[in-house]
Amino acid sequence: MAKRPIFIPNLKGFPFVKESLLEFEWHPGFAKVQAQKSIASLHQAAAEAKITPVLEISSKSNEEVGVSLSAFNLKMIKDEKSISVECAYQGSKIFANGGPFSDLYSVSSKEAKTDERLRNSGNFVGYEFFGENFIINPVTAFYDWLYLTALSQNPSLANKLFDYKGFSDIAFNPKKSFNCQARAAALFVSLCHNDEIDRIVEDKNYYIDLITNNNSNNVSSMENKKKSSKSKEQYLQPELPF
């Protein structure tokens, strides 16, 4: 048996994502079929907890949209460059003895994640993305922001998230890591529902204030909704070319 979280959008606002930690039957092994058995077991546990349907977001997903939404596959455009979320994240890390390693923006996601410099450059100290620094707390803020930005640029994929009540990532173990693509997907749905997605992509400071519930720099919820220009329905448009 194992435990994994299901990430559920909180449509009421902050905190924007709820987590339901569920116990399920784990099927050991590295083969994709074994992972998909574990996914099916986890989703069955979710259904019994009245969380359904759930989308697995990973390369092991048995749904094409779930594979496409993996951080390894989901891409964003920055300065006319097409970069996967994974490459953007890994290539932006700064360490005491090196980084950011922006050359990783141009390699495969697997190459970026396994680059030896990420483990041999001393203590991690921060992020720099195309010349802009990003805070390291909350610990998931930068990764989530990259994922949210990529989703905002891929409306045909993003719109499909609204068909699900929760999201999973079978490889994510909360005891071993912080960042999770399934959590970021749930955050996107919640932020869209609250008419915040445009502003948080454009204004990093506002984004940090919002996810940390620092309301001193935020306008009221009603004012936000009046100013917002993009809703769930407006994601029904052609996907950006890569």
Q: Write out pLDDT tens, residues 89-104.
A: 999 999 999 999 999 9
Q: How confident is the model at residue 217 (pLDDT cuts 50, 70, 90)?
A: very low
Q: What is the pLDDT of residue 215?
A: 57
Give the pLDDT mean for 6-35.
95
Q: Does the pLDDT at position 239 exceed 60?
A: no
Give the pLDDT mean for 40-53.
98
Q: What percent of the chain has pLDDT over 70?
A: 88
Number of domains in the chain: 1
In sequence order, what are the residues at sequence separation of 6 or more whose Cβ sits closer than 8 angstroms to the Cβ of residue 67? Answer: 58, 59, 61, 73
| Nearest residue to 46 (alpha-carbon basis) of 74, 27, 18 | 18
E-state strands within the chain: 2-9, 17-24, 54-56, 75-78, 81-84, 93-95, 124-129, 132-134, 166-168
Q: Does the pLDDT at position 51 exceed 90?
A: yes
Q: Does the pLDDT at position 207 exceed 70?
A: yes
Q: What phi, psi does 153 have (nearest 5°)?
A: -90, -5
The predicted-structure confidence for 157-189, as pLDDT tens digits, reads as follows: 999 999 999 999 999 999 999 999 999 999 999
Q: Does the pLDDT at position 240 exceed 80?
A: no
Q: What is the pLDDT of residue 45?
A: 98
C-alpha–C-alpha distance, residues 18 and 5, integer Å: 9
132-134 sheet: strands from edge to edge: 93-95, 124-129, 132-134
Q: What is the pLDDT of residue 172?
A: 96
Q: Does the pLDDT at position 241 exceed 60?
A: no
Strand, coil or helix: what is 150? Answer: helix
C-alpha–C-alpha distance, residues 50 and 44, integer Å: 10
- Lowest mean pLDDT: which of 51-55, 198-202, 225-229? 225-229
Give the pLDDT mean for 184-198.
96
Residues facing residue 166 across a β-bridge: 54
Tally Cβ neighbours within 10 Å of residue 11.
Answer: 11
Domain of residue 47: give its range.
1-242
Q: Does the pLDDT at position 242 exceed 60?
A: no
| Nearest residue to 147 (alpha-carbon basis) of 75, 43, 234 | 75
- Lowest mean pLDDT: which of 49-58, 99-108, 218-227? 218-227
Contact assessment for residue 151 and residue 239, using Cβ atoms and an 8 Å cutoff: no
Strand, coil or helix: what is 235? Answer: helix
Mean pLDDT of the chain: 90
Q: Does the pLDDT at position 224 exceed 90?
A: no
C-alpha dihedral sign at 152, 154, 159, 161: negative
Terminal-residue alpha carbon distance, the chain: 41
The predicted-structure confidence for 59-87, as pLDDT tens digits, reads as follows: 999 999 999 999 999 999 999 999 999 99
